[in-house]
């Protein structure tokens, strides 16, 4: 399936717990930065969100 035509329900099922796909905001960042379409699809809308640099920075800050 083309990731650009992904259904919102599919994207949120296995998405990053800090990524808000609907609001286009990354809550893992200190400033709740805007994601943009490509970053949102690449880092937030898959099971591989632990490769996201913003998510990793959030985890490091928690330690």
pTM: 0.63
Q: What is the mean pLDDT of the chain?
A: 76
User: How many structural domains compose the chain?
Assistant: 1
Radius of gyration over alpha carbons of the chain, in Å? 11
Q: How confident is the model at residue 24 (pLDDT cuts 50, 70, 90)?
A: confident
Residue 32's CB is within 10 A of a number of other CB atoms, namely 12
Q: Is the pLDDT of residue 1 over 60?
A: no
The residue segments making up the domain with residue 52 are 3-62
Cβ within 8 Å of residue 49, ≥6 positions away? 15, 16, 19, 43, 55
Q: Is the pLDDT of residue 55 over 80?
A: yes
Percent of the chain with pLDDT over 70: 75
């Amino acid at each position: 399936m083309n990731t650009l035509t992904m259904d919102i329900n599919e994207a949120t099922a296995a998405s990053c717990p800090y990524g808000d796909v609907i609001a286009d905001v990354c809550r893992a960042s200190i400033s709740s930065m805007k994601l943009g379409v490509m970053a949102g699809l690449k880092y937030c809308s898959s099971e591989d969100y632990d490769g996201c640099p913003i998510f990793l920075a959030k985890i490091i800050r928690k330690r």
